[in-house]
Amino acid sequence: MDNKVSKYMLIVLTVLCTVLIVVSSIQNGAVDPLRNAVGYVLVPVQRGVNYVGTGIYNLISEGRSLSQAAAENEELQRQVDALTEENNRLRSEELELQRLRELYELDQQYMQYPKVAARVIAKDSEKWFQVFRIDKGSADGIEPDMNVICGGGLLGIVTDVGANYATVRSIIDDESRVSAMSQLSAETCIVAGDLKLFEEGRLLISNIDKNAGISDGDAIVTSNISTKFLPGILIGYASDIQVDSTQLTKSGTLIPVADFDNLQEVFVITQKKTDMLSDTAESPEEGSES
C-alpha cells in the first residue's frame, strides 16, 4: 500500500512540475498572474535543487582532492623512505671507509710485521670488548699468542683458535699484564687491565722504578723484554704518575689508544714473539703476562 501511495505522489509531483514549467514558459499576458504564482513556487524549488546539486558536486570534488592528496602523500612518503635508506647506506659506507683508512694507516705504521685483517663477530660481555671473537682462525694462519692491534696501537692477544674463528683477550681484561716501556726513556713498567678502573677509560701502570724517567704524557709501548708481545707497539699514554707508599716504585694510570667500546675491524700480527726469540727468558716482572 505504501509503495502505491509513494508511486502516486511521485506521479502527481512530476505532473505538477511539468505543468508549472509549461505555465511559466507561456508568454500570454492573460496568464501572467498564474505565471507569477508559479514562479513563486518554482524558483525556490530550483534554488533548492541547485543548492543540493552544488553541495553534491563540492563533496565529490573534495573527495577526489582528498584521494589525490592521499595518493601524492603516499608517493612522497615512499620517496622520503627511499632517500632515508640511501642516506643511511651512504653514511654506513662513509664510516666503513673511515675505518678502513685508519686500518691502512695502522698497517703502514707497523709495516715491519705481517698482518691479517679480521672482523669482530662476538664479545663475551655486554659493556666492553675485554674478550671477543674474530672471523679468522687457523685456516687463515692465526695461532695463540699472536698480537692484535687496532685504533693506532695494541688491542690484545689471541688466546684460543678454531678453524674459522679466534678468541682475543684485550689488554683491559683483569687478567691481562703487558711488559711495557717508555718510548722516550726506555724505562720499563707493567700495564695491567683493570675493568673497574677502565670505567674511567684508563688502565693501571705500575712497577716503575722510583728514579725512572716516566712522566705524564709519555708514550708507553710494548717492551723488548716482553715474552709474548712484539716490541714497539704503542699501548697508550702515562697519566697521574706518583711515587708509591713504599717509596721504592712509582705507579699511575694509562690512557689506551685503542677504542674498546665499538670494535669492528682489527689486525692480527701473524709473527709471534717466540718466532723472533724462541729461547728468550721470561721477565720476572711479567710472569703472568698475557
Any alpha helices (H) in 110-215, and if so which ranges?
195-198
- Do 169 and 54 belong together in one domain? no
Q: Which residues partner with 231 through β-bridges?
A: none
| Rounded Cα–Cα distance for residues 49 and 283 (Å) | 106
- Do 154 and 185 belong together in one domain? yes
- Do 27 and 138 belong together in one domain? no
Q: Please tell me the least confidently modeled range out of 35-39, 51-55, 186-190.
A: 35-39
- Do 219 and 277 belong together in one domain? yes
What contacts 151, CB < 8 A, 6 or more positions away?
102, 106, 257, 258, 259
Which of 67, 88, 109 terminates a domain? The answer is: 109
- Do 59 and 101 belong together in one domain? yes
- Do 123 and 94 belong together in one domain? no
pLDDT at position 278, please? 60
pLDDT at position 128, please? 74
- Do 163 and 67 belong together in one domain? no
- Do 218 and 148 belong together in one domain? yes
Please, which pLDDT band fits residue 284 given cuts at 50, 70 and 90? very low
- Do 274 and 148 belong together in one domain? yes
- Do 141 and 221 belong together in one domain? yes
Domain that holds residue 152: 115-286
pLDDT in tens, 97-156: 566 666 667 667 788 899 999 999 998 876 778 899 999 999 999 999 999 998 889 999
Predicted confidence (pLDDT) at residue 19 exceeds the cutoff of 70: no
Average pLDDT over residues 208-231: 92
Predicted structure pTM score:
0.64
pLDDT at position 112, please? 87
Number of structural domains the chain divides into: 2
Q: Give me the DSSP letters along 45-74.
A: HHHHHHHHHHHHHHHHHHHHHHHHHHHHHH
